[in-house]
Amino acid sequence: MSGWTIALIIFGLLMLAGAGVVLARRRHDELNDPKLGDLDHPVEQTWEEREIEAMLADGSSPAGSPRAQHYDFAHLLLRRRFFEDPSGLARLVAGEDGETFLQAMWNEAMASGEVDPIPPRGLKGTLVGGARGVLVVVDLPRPRAMTEAHQVALVVPEQGDPRYFTLELGFDEDDHQRTVLCEWRDGAHMNFGDGPAPDIEAFAAAVRAKVEPESAN
């Protein structure tokens, strides 16, 4: 092997080593760039970011009309059944057979001939503690359009009339996603404005704030 060949090999090895150092330094700079955040401990997404990410992933949009099955379940069918037997239905929904019962009602809410039924993912009832009386939160499949509900609250207070609340998908004036706290009462749909994040405890706390002061009077 000639001296020139050996020199070229050594030169090539030095160039590769130098490139490795440059890449290592660049990676170090990226990991320590405050604009990129801590890659080992990423910042937790807000519920709005998670919802938008999920919508983009499945190609759906929240801007259209409410889907009949989703709307009818929360605003018509479940509401009607609840006011027919408030205590009985609330306990059934939160009981061992609650998920089966809700799924059957979900299928019942599907419009006749509807070609795209909505899978009942996440549909369940949860009995929430710390309430005066019975408070059950029903989680619905992810809403996609305004007035579709994230959750429904079934309230049977120790005193007073049963109450039926919905936590609905909405948008502000800048088209940013928000939740809207609403109630069906005496056949009327009441809008209380901005609601909490679609979390069981947060929704339950917002509902208790509406119910318990009235129950105490």
Residues 164-192 pLDDT 10s: 999 999 998 888 899 999 999 999 999 99
Residue-level pLDDT at 193: 94
> DSSP letters along 137-175, please?
EEE-SPP-STT-EEEEEEEEESSS--EEEEEEEEE-TT-
Residue-level pLDDT at 14: 47
Residue-level pLDDT at 19: 41
Residue-level pLDDT at 63: 55
Residue-level pLDDT at 217: 53
Residue-level pLDDT at 57: 47
- Per domain, the residue ranges of the chain are 3-43, 66-216
Residue-level pLDDT at 116: 82
Residue-level pLDDT at 48: 53
Task: Say which residue the tokens 């938008």 belong to.
Answer: 52
Please give the average pLDDT of every successive group of 10 residues along the chain, which has 217 residues: 52 45 39 40 50 47 77 96 97 95 94 77 92 91 95 94 97 89 96 96 96 66
Q: Any idea how long the chain is?
A: 217
Residue-level pLDDT at 161: 94
Residue-level pLDDT at 159: 86
Residue-level pLDDT at 4: 53
Residue-level pLDDT at 134: 93
User: What is the C-alpha to C-alpha distance for residues 48 and 172, in angstroms, rounded to an integer?
Assistant: 13
Residue 117 gets which letter from DSSP?
Answer: P
Q: What is the dihedral of CA 66, 69, 75, 79, to 10 degrees?
A: -170
User: What is the C-alpha to C-alpha distance for residues 105 and 70, in angstroms, rounded to an integer?
Assistant: 11
Q: Sheet containing 149-157: give its strands across.
A: 124-127, 133-139, 149-157, 163-171, 177-185, 188-194
Q: Is the pTM of this model over 0.85?
A: no
